[in-house]
Structure 1
Amino acid sequence: MSKPLSSSIKSPKEYYPPTYGILSLFPDSWVPYAELTRLHKPTGILVIYMPYLFGLLFISIAIGPVDVRPSSVMNLAFILLITSFVLRSAGCTWNDVVDYKIDRETERCRLRPVARGAVSPASGVVFFSIQICVWFAILCSVSSASVLLAIPGLGLVLIYPYAKRVTDYPQVILGVTLAWGILVGGVVVPEGADFVIARGTAEKEPWLALGMASLFVAYIAWTIIFDTIYGFQDLQDDLKSGVGSISVRWQHHAKALLLLMALLQVSSLVALGLSLGVGKDFYLAGCGGSAVGLCCMIWKINLKRPAECAWWFQYGTVAVGSCMLWGLIEDYVGRTMALGS
């Protein structure tokens, strides 16, 4: 599948084949494709998987444990994990193909497979197409409604890498792209399809539509926060190459913007809780835990230090995302236990 780009494009001398970790288990010819999928960087899988899981839990809570039993939720959650892994891999492949010239000018990214010439752009497109076909096949096996909603989601995936060329706010586009998984996760439960596609339940119980919108906005705000922090790793290179980002546009007032997004995120989570009629556990874990994590992250991080930005992106994303997830899980489990008693 791979072929040389040009004799004038040489792999940087600093690149060495992996000798440890999961990438070292692959044959040498497979390593560049495994690198394209970011198999060795699992944080990105979580930020794509969580919206799917949030959508699934939201609908499960809204409909109730009588119709959506825990065994069904766990089975669907596993399928969505596989779906998220494939989509994340495809998205990374597409980003590398579109951005390989920019990546060559970015210190952190210049050893990526397409940028260093280990995979040609054409081969990357073929690899991306295969991944997308697998993604659609998995969704088709779950529900037709999820496929219908996945199509515009794929359009967002294709558009996102170009956003930095035309706007200083590509993180907003990324936020909508990731949050779209909430809608897809909401229709893998057959009873939830009518609600998410704006029929049936949405007409009878409009406050649930408000809840879905609140969850959507919360995840967009959260994406802006963690991806802005992520973007500060490449601030100097982005300034030289001229690409847009919130990190560049708000470099001198970034923490003020991050605090505003944190307020929007927590407020949206509170609105979500009110729409679902959740118990105190959701407000403690989902809202309170997220608020504490966000404040700690924004207060302590030094955005001028790329290593700190990388650390907070990796661990802060997991911590705050886990709080939101745990709040939803606790509420669903609590309703299930109340039903059993």
Structure 2
Amino acid sequence: MSSLLSALSSRRALCHNAKLTRHLMGLARPARSPRPTTTTMTTININHRSHQPRVSYHATRKLLSTATIPPTPSPSPSPSPSLPPYTPPQTGLLSLLPAAVLPYAELCRLDKPTGSIYLFFPCLWSTLLAAPLLAPSIPSPLPVLGTSLLFLSGALIMRGAGCTINDLWDRNLDPHVTRTRLRPIARGAVSPQAAIVFTGAQLLAGLGILLQFPLECFYYATPSLVLVTLYPLAKRVTYYPQAVLGLTFSWGAVMGFPALGVDLLASQNQAALAAAGLLYASNVAWTVLYDMIYAHMDIKDDAKAGIKSIALKHDAQTKQVLTGLAVTQVALLAGAGVAAGAGPAFFIGSCGGALVTLGIMIKRVNLKSVKDCWWWFINGCWLTGGVISVGLGADYLVKYIQQEELVQESGVLSA
């Protein structure tokens, strides 16, 4: 009997041990829930409330620590496109410069003169428009050419100063834009302190050019410095920084008049004042037009960097806006000619030519192509600016020749 009881007791102990083993093996399985500890402790408490033997806390923790739970795979980051590093120019003017001078030449865009030509054209136009107003003493082509060359020198220097100021303002934005990330300040080739000193030197050189003109030009030119400084700030606060750029780049449309001795504030020169004002407004419209095309080159990067532009604001209506600006520009240009008493050469050559070249550019430019926008930005400058200059130059020469003929006839009659 005792042996039978002993066998039953031994079998019961084996059953208890088997149940305990199955329970502990269940604890060691990988949990499907992301929080296995809470589930395990709950199971232990439930089993503890039943009549199964108590499982110690240390044994459970040891089993959990040895359980293998496969980690959740993390997505691998997509590789970012690698951009080429900076390489010094191998051709052109900049390739001939010493390494110490090269960053400053790049800073003032010496290798990209299109901006300087855009700044020069309004000066040339105002000079050619103002010269016939001096009748019966229209200046000969030589002093008009000399005045124009002084304006060209000033445009090169002041545009460089404007670019340096712009890069100082944008030194924290340029590294995030593909086209501007390798500019000298953005890539660390020129420090902000050195750029400020360089700006001062450029402004002093510009002042030296300005002092070659009549003294009145100094007073007319000084307010433009405020616009040169404020333009880079405009792109942070408004979607129309091109309007501020237009006010800045068009200032030369006023300067040709005092440069030739026409006092715009004199009461007898109201026609000259009206002509200068209309020519200035026409240039503002032209600047907004070509810079809107230019802004489309950076439209994606500008959106990411938080830079505002008219191209971003009116991306879907760009061609319509460009058409409106072109019509406005030509209409104001024609108004300036009427005020100045211009002749057929101006209205056919300058106004008609501008209307044709602007129409071709607006129709053909592919605003989704950076290369195409850049091509039209450069060549549109020469096409539209060139025909306006030719028309104004022809009108000036016609009137100068007519004046010389009158002088000769009067000389013959007096003899």
Normalised by the length of structure 2, the TM-score is 0.76
8 Å CA contact 1:211–1:271 kept in 2: the answer is yes
What is the aligned partner in structure 1 of residue 358 from structure 2? 294
How many percent of aligned residue pairs carry the same amino acid?
A: 37
Give secondary structure in 2 for the equivalent of 1:116.
coil
Q: Which has the larger radius of gyration?
A: 2
What is the aligned partner in structure 2 of residue 319 from structure 1? 383
Asked which structure has the greater RCO (Cα within 8 Å, sep 6+), the reply is 1
What is the aligned partner in structure 1 of residue 226 from structure 2? 155
Structure 1 residues 32-71: aligned runs within 5 Å: 32-64=103-135, 66-71=137-142
What is the aligned partner in structure 2 of residue 25 from structure 1? 96
8 Å CA contact 1:37–1:93 kept in 2: the answer is yes
Give secondary structure in 2 for the equivalent of 1:38.
coil
Is 2:236 the counterpart of 1:165? Answer: yes
Structure 1 residues 116-265: aligned runs within 5 Å: 116-189=187-260, 191-192=261-262, 194-195=263-264, 198-199=265-266, 203-265=267-329
Q: Which runs of 5+ in 2 are unaligned?
A: 1-82, 406-415
- Taking a change above 3 Å as real, the CA distance of residues 181 and 164 of structure 1, as seen in their structure-2 partners, is same
Q: Once the two structures are superposed, what CA deviation does each residue of 1:189-245 show, in whole Å capped at 9, x if it has no partner?
A: 2x21x22xx12xxx2243332221111111001001100000000000011111111
Q: Once the two structures are superposed, what CA deviation does each residue of 1:23-69 show, in whole Å capped at 9, x if it has no partner?
A: 01100111000101111111111011111112222221222372422
In structure 1, C-alpha distance between the alignment counterparts of 2:269 and 2:154, rounded to whole Å: 30
Give secondary structure in 1 for the equivalent of 2:186.
helix
In structure 1, C-alpha distance between the alignment counterparts of 2:136 and 2:250, rounded to whole Å: 24
In structure 1, C-alpha distance between the alignment counterparts of 2:281 and 2:162, rounded to whole Å: 22
In structure 2, C-alpha distance between the alignment counterparts of 1:73 and 1:232, rounded to whole Å: 37
What is the aligned partner in structure 2 of residue 278 from structure 1? 342
In structure 1, C-alpha distance between the alignment counterparts of 2:363 and 2:283, rounded to whole Å: 21
Is 2:150 the counterpart of 1:79? Answer: yes
Give secondary structure in 1 for the equivalent of 2:137.
coil
In structure 2, C-alpha distance between the alignment counterparts of 1:146 and 1:67, rounded to whole Å: 20
CA-atom RMSD in angstroms: 1.3
Residue 125 (structure 1) shift? 0.7
What is the aligned partner in structure 2 of residue 4 from structure 1? none
In structure 1, C-alpha distance between the alignment counterparts of 2:382 and 2:114, rounded to whole Å: 7
In structure 1, C-alpha distance between the alignment counterparts of 2:270 and 2:349, rounded to whole Å: 26
Q: Alignment length, in residue pairs?
A: 323
The residue type paired with residue 325 of structure 2 is M
8 Å CA contact 2:254–2:277 kept in 1: the answer is no
8 Å CA contact 1:156–1:177 kept in 2: the answer is yes
Is 2:172 the counterpart of 1:101? Answer: yes
Q: Once the two structures are superposed, what CA deviation does each residue of 1:107-147 show, in whole Å capped at 9, x if it has no partner?
A: 00101000000000111011011000110111112222111
Give secondary structure in 2 for the equivalent of 1:142.
coil
Q: Which runs of 5+ in 1 are unaligned?
A: 1-11
- Taking a change above 3 Å as real, the CA distance of residues 187 and 94 of structure 1, as seen in their structure-2 partners, is same
What is the aligned partner in structure 2 of residue 9 from structure 1? none
Identify the match of residue 330 of structure 2 among 266, 271, 275: 266
The residue type paired with residue 20 of structure 1 is T
In structure 1, C-alpha distance between the alignment counterparts of 2:123 and 2:201, rounded to whole Å: 22
Normalised by the length of structure 1, the TM-score is 0.92
The residue type paired with residue 16 of structure 1 is T
Give secondary structure in 2 for the equivalent of 1:252.
helix
Q: Once the two structures are superposed, what CA deviation does each residue of 1:281-314 show, in whole Å capped at 9, x if it has no partner?
A: 1111100100001110111111111111000000
8 Å CA contact 1:286–1:326 kept in 2: the answer is yes
In structure 1, C-alpha distance between the alignment counterparts of 2:328 and 2:219, rounded to whole Å: 29
The 4+ residue runs of structure 1 with deviation greater than 4 A are none
Give secondary structure in 2 for the equivalent of 1:101.
coil
In structure 2, C-alpha distance between the alignment counterparts of 1:51 and 1:149, rounded to whole Å: 15
* 222-231 or 68-77, larger mean C-alpha shift: 68-77
8 Å CA contact 1:286–1:324 kept in 2: the answer is yes
Q: Once the two structures are superposed, what CA deviation does each residue of 1:59-94 show, in whole Å capped at 9, x if it has no partner?
A: 212223724222111111111111111111111111
In structure 2, C-alpha distance between the alignment counterparts of 1:80 and 1:208, rounded to whole Å: 20
- Taking a change above 3 Å as real, the CA distance of residues 40 and 65 of structure 1, as seen in their structure-2 partners, is farther
8 Å CA contact 1:56–1:187 kept in 2: the answer is no
8 Å CA contact 1:179–1:216 kept in 2: the answer is yes
What is the aligned partner in structure 2 of residue 3 from structure 1? none
The residue type paired with residue 130 of structure 2 is I
The residue type paired with residue 166 of structure 1 is V
The residue type paired with residue 267 of structure 1 is A
* 12-21 or 109-118, larger mean C-alpha shift: 12-21
8 Å CA contact 2:132–2:400 kept in 1: the answer is no
8 Å CA contact 2:138–2:403 kept in 1: the answer is no
